[in-house]
């Protein structure tokens, strides 16, 4: 029995020093080292041999189809990560050969990440970094993104980084405009719900998270193409909006529950959904796509093809919403309900039917915005939408509560302020500038840019 116990103990220790074949989850006794090997603009590198040496011994693994390998480490300290260059695809080399091997510091209960870029021989010259949080980080070269640290949930976009041949101010203006357009798409639904029901939906951020996480599952788990994943995420958001209105908020309205009580319900719903996302996906970042999108030079700025497509989709959808509100029967009925529900009902408009459709459309817009924002920021996670919720509220308050066009204008202003504030503020504080604007708007012009002043009392 003693010999058997010794053998089992030895096997257990040996097993702890193997690279994980599944995503690693850090705990009090385990640290995770996640390594990704990718070709910028092309995609992940599968089959690259990796060796990790440190306090937990020597570990070896090869990258999977997503170009990733995860190492579960039972001891904190410095570890050297070595890529076997002989296992790289033919005609490629490490972008930064001098950084192979590289040293990464890990701590128990946390994840550390490293992205290694592989390029044609003529483009070698530097391109791998490490992250204490295991997020999707890359080098400061063109097309790279900066991951937030463990205490900040906001990820910086690749468009905000000014590479060679770019003007920093023009680059930040472009990044702010792109972020503002995508934020407008995500926040427009919350403004439509407020306009028709008077309800400030604090669970709107979780609908944004739903879109990002559904797209993540569709691409990474179900191996669907990205365009189909976007469609699936949008449909999932629409279904969630219908369920929330049918099972929760429509019965509350029929019972005459006040707006304040309904708002408290949305807060509880937000916390419940946040916990559900944490339980289902964990706390680690979940990038929808593994590769790094190639950036294009447009005069003094650079922009990735992925961001161009995202902005184009957002603009088309925003234009479709504007046309629907202005030119269609449903749009006119929605505006009538927003202006005066009682008068709209008296003229034969089915108010509850309009509100139900608004909930479906609003949740679909939020989910679509969540996917596009996750692509823009290079990652999503369980609290992705909740970190953007105050920005969305700031946008619709600045533009004018209940005004769809105001929400778009407010989001553009917020997006520009968020990105341009990094000229004078640390990146982790860039969202704080938008909240300062929210406070100033409430003090100086409570109705917002396009909102209508209302007499109280």
15 pLDDT above the threshold of 80 = no
Is residue 343 reached through a cis peptide bond, with omega within 30 degrees of 0 on the bond before it?
no
Predicted local confidence at residue 177, as pLDDT = 93
Distance between start and end Cα atoms, the chain: 84
- Only one residue has tokens 């089992």, namely 8
Average pLDDT, stretch 137-165? 43
Decide if 393 contacts 202 (C-beta within 8 A). Answer: no
C-alpha span between 152 and 160 (Å, rounded): 17
Nearest to 207 by CA among 377, 364, 380: 364
What phi-psi label fits residue 348: left (phi over 0), alpha (psi between -120 and 50 degrees) or beta? left
pLDDT band of 259, cuts 50, 70, 90: very high
400 pLDDT above the threshold of 50 = yes
Q: What is the mean pLDDT of the chain?
A: 82
Predicted local confidence at residue 10, as pLDDT = 39
Q: Which of 265-274, 300-309, 417-426 has the highest mean pLDDT?
A: 265-274
Of 389 and 450, the one with more pLDDT: 389
Nearest to 282 by CA among 150, 382, 137: 382
Domains of the chain plus CATH, in order, are 18-134 (2.60.40.10), 168-444 (1.10.3470)
Torsion of CA 33, 38, 44, 46, to 10 degrees: -70
Share of the chain above pLDDT 90, in %: 41
Token duo for residue 36: 């990704």
Nearest to 220 by CA among 155, 144, 137, 136: 136
Predicted local confidence at residue 323, as pLDDT = 94
Residue 32: Cβ-neighbour burial (10 angstroms; 0-12, 13-18, 19+): buried
């Amino acid at each position: 029995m003693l010999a058997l116990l010794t053998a089992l103990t030895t096997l257990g220790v040996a097993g702890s020093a193997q690279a994980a074949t599944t995503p690693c989850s850090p705990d009090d006794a385990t640290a995770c080292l996640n390594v990704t090997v990718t070709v910028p603009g092309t995609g992940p590198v599968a089959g690259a041999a990796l060796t990790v040496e440190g306090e937990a011994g020597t570990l070896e693994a090869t990258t999977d189809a997503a170009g990733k390998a995860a190492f579960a480490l039972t001891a904190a300290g410095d570890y050297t990560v070595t890529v076997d260059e002989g296992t790289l695809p033919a005609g490629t080399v490490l972008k930064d050969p001098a950084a192979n091997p590289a040293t990464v510091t890990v701590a128990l209960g946390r994840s550390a990440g490293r992205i290694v870029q592989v390029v044609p021989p003529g483009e070698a010259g530097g391109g791998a970094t490490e992250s204490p949080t295991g997020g999707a980080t890359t080098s400061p070269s063109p097309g790279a993104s900066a991951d937030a640290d463990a205490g900040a949930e906001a990820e910086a976009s690749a468009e905000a980084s000014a590479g060679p041949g770019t003007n920093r101010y023009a680059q930040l203006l472009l990044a702010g405009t792109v972020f503002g357009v995508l934020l407008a798409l995500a926040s427009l639904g919350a403004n439509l719900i407020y306009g028709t029901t008077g309800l400030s939906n604090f669970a709107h951020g979780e609908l944004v998270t739903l879109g990002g996480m559904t797209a993540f599952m569709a691409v990474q788990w179900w191996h669907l193409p990205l365009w189909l994943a976007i469609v699936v995420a949008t449909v999932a958001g629409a279904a969630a909006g219908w369920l929330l209105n049918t099972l929760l908020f429509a019965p509350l309205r029929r019972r005459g529950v006040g707006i304040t009580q309904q708002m408290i319900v949305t807060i509880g719903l937000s916390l419940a959904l946040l916990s559900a996302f944490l339980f289902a996906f964990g706390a680690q970042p979940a990038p929808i796509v593994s590769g790094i999108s190639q950036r294009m030079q447009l005069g003094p700025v650079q922009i990735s093809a992925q961001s161009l497509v995202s902005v184009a989709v957002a603009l088309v959808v925003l234009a479709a919403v504007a046309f629907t509100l202005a030119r269609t029967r449903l749009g006119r009925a929605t505006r009538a309900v927003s202006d005066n529900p009682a008068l709209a009902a008296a003229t034969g408009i089915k108010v509850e039917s309009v509100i139900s459709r608004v909930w479906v459309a609003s949740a679909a817009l939020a989910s679509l915005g969540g996917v596009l924002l996750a692509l823009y920021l290079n990652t999503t996670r369980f609290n992705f939408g909740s970190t953007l919720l105050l920005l969305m509220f700031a946008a619709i308050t600045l533009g004018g509560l209940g005004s769809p066009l105001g929400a778009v204008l407010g989001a553009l202003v917020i997006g520009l302020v968020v990105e341009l504030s990094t000229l004078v503020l640390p990146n982790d504080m860039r969202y704080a500038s938008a909240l300062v604007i929210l406070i100033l708007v409430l003090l100086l012009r409570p109705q917002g840019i396009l909102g209508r002043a209302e007499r109280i009392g």
